[in-house]
Chain A
Amino acid sequence: MLTKRIIPCLDIKDGRTVKGTNFVNLRDAGDPVELGALYAQQGADELVFLDITATVEKRKTLSDLVNRIAHHINIPFTVGGGISSVEDVSVLLQNGADKISVNTSAFKRPRLVNELSKEFGSQCVVLAIDTKKEEDGEWYVYLNGGRTKTDAKCFEWAKQAVDLGAGEILLTSMNHDGTKQGFALDITRTLSTKLPVPVIASGGGGTMEHFVDVFEKAEADAALAASIFHFKEITIPDLKQYLSKQNIVVRN
C-alpha cells in the first residue's frame, strides 16, 4: 500500500539551516546537508528545503546547496523559496532537486504553474499555500511568508492551481503554525478529499496523536513539521512506530 509520508522541513538562510519560531529568533542549526542526511537515515520519507535568504546572491548559493544535497541524500527532496520562473526551476532540477515549490510567485502569475508543469511535469510542481481562517469562518490565501493577506479563498486557489498543473499541495495553516496544538483538520480535509492531487499538511503538529488525526480525520497524504524534529521533541522512528501501532501505513 502507498504509505503516508513524514516530511521534515529545513529552513535555509545563507546556506545554513536555521531554527526559530515564526521567522523570529533564528538560530544557526548547522549544515542542511548533514541534518537532511540524518533525517533520511532516521526514516524521513522526503525532505523540504525552504530558502528564506533575501540577498541577491541567493540563486547561486541555493543551486550549489541543492547540488550538495542531491549528492548526499538518498530520498526525494523539494526545494522552495523565491522561485518565479522556468529558468529558476531548470537550474534547481539540473542540480538534482526532485520537486520545487512555488507560492507567492504562482499566485501573482498563475500561468507559472502551467509553464512549469508543461516543461517539467506536474509531478515536480508543488504548490505551497499559506492560509488563515478569518472571523468570517473562511480560509484565505496569504502571501510573502504570511505577511500579505489576499481576498482569495484557499480552496478556490488550490483548485485553480491543480487545474493549471500543480501536482501536489503543501498547505500551511497560519492559525496552527507554531502552536503545537494540532494540524488544521478541516481545510486539510477539504483539499485532500476534493482535489485529485496529494496534500501535505503543515503547521501545528506537536504530538504524535496530531499526526494520527491529520492522516485519519483529515486524510492528508503527508505531514510536514520542522521544530519538533529539530528540537528532538519527537523523533521520526518513534513517530513512525506510533503511527504503525495506530494502523496507519508508514514506511518503517
Chain B
Amino acid sequence: MVLTIIKYNAGNIQSVLYALERIGVSATVTDHHEKIKSADKVIFPGVGEASTAMNYLKERNLDSVIKELKQPVLGICLGMQLMCRHSEENDTNCLGIFDENVKHFTNSPLGVGGKIPQIGWNNIYDLKSKLFEGVAENSYCYFVHGYYAALGEHTIATTNYIQPYSSALHKNNFYGVQFHPEKSATAGEQILKNFLEL
C-alpha cells in the first residue's frame, strides 16, 4: 500500500510519520501532484493558520488536486478544517469538500465555558463510521484548536466544548478528524489503523 502525506506549510507532519511508524506503516511526504493522486491513501495533516495554509495550497494547485482525490483521504486538525466550506479564521474560503463551516469558539466567560484554544483530552461520542471500529463511545482524544467545525450531515463524531461540535466528518472518500490521532495514545492508533484498512 502506498500511503502519502501531503507536504505543505503546516506543522505536525513529523508526528504523523512517527505515529504511522509505530503501527508499522511507512509513508511518503510529498507535494508532487502525481504522487499524491496515485497513492492508495492520503493523509492531509496540519497545525497552523487557515488563510496562510489555503494560499499555500492554491499557489501550488494542491487545492484542486485534493478536491479531486478518489482514494480515502484523512484530514487531521487544520487539514480537516480546510476540507470544510469556510473558516472564520481570517475569513477563509476553504476546499468545500464538507458543507460544514468552521467557527471560532466564543462566548466563554472564564470558568464557565472554557479557555480558548481548547488544549487537552476530550471525549468523542455518537461515533458513526468504520473509522471508529473498535473505538469505544466516549474515548478520549487529544485536541488543540481554537476553531471548530459545526455539527452537520457529515458529522461522524461529536465532542462537547463550550457547545457540541464535529470532532470528525465523513463524505464519500473524505474523512476528517479535529483531534490528533497521532498523539491520542491507543485510541488514536486504532483510528489510524482503521483508516489504513478502509
Contact = CB atoms under 8 A, between A and B. Distances in A.
A14 B180 CA distance: 31
A121 B185 contact: no
B45 to A, nearest CB: 13
A71 B115 contact: no
A122 B185 CA distance: 23
A180 to B, nearest CB: 26
Contacts of A196: 110, 115-116
Contacts of B122: 1-3
Contact of B15 (A72, A98, A221): A98
Contact of A74 (B19, B111, B143): B19
B121 A98 contact: no
A71 B18 CA distance: 5
Contacts of B21: 71
Describe A's contact surface by its main secondary structure.
loop
A5 B115 contact: no
Interface residues of B, number: 36
B144 A123 contact: yes
A198 B115 contact: yes
B14 A96 contact: yes
A5 B121 contact: yes
Interface string A92-133: 011110100000000000000000000011111000000000
Contact of A3 (B19, B115, B121, B186): B121
Nearest to A69: B18
A2 B11 contact: no
A39 B182 CA distance: 17
A40 B185 contact: yes
Most-contacted residue by chain A among B111, B121, B123 (CB, 10 A): B121
A86 B143 CA distance: 24
B111 A1 contact: no
A143 interface: no
A214 B48 CA distance: 32
A20 interface: no
A167 B117 contact: yes
B176 interface: no
Interface in A38-54: 40, 45
B104 interface: no
A74 B14 contact: no
B56 to A, nearest CB: 15
The 4 closest A-B pairs by CB, nearest first: A251-B140, A251-B121, A3-B121, A123-B144
Given A71-B21, A198-B120, A251-B121, 12 more contacts: A2-B143, A5-B121, A70-B14, A71-B22, A74-B182, A74-B186, A74-B188, A74-B189, A96-B18, A121-B47, A121-B49, A219-B111
6 contacts: A70-B18, A76-B180, A96-B15, A196-B115, A219-B111, A221-B119
Interface of A: 1-3, 5, 40, 45, 70-72, 74-76, 93-96, 98, 120-124, 167-168, 193-194, 196-198, 219, 221-222, 251
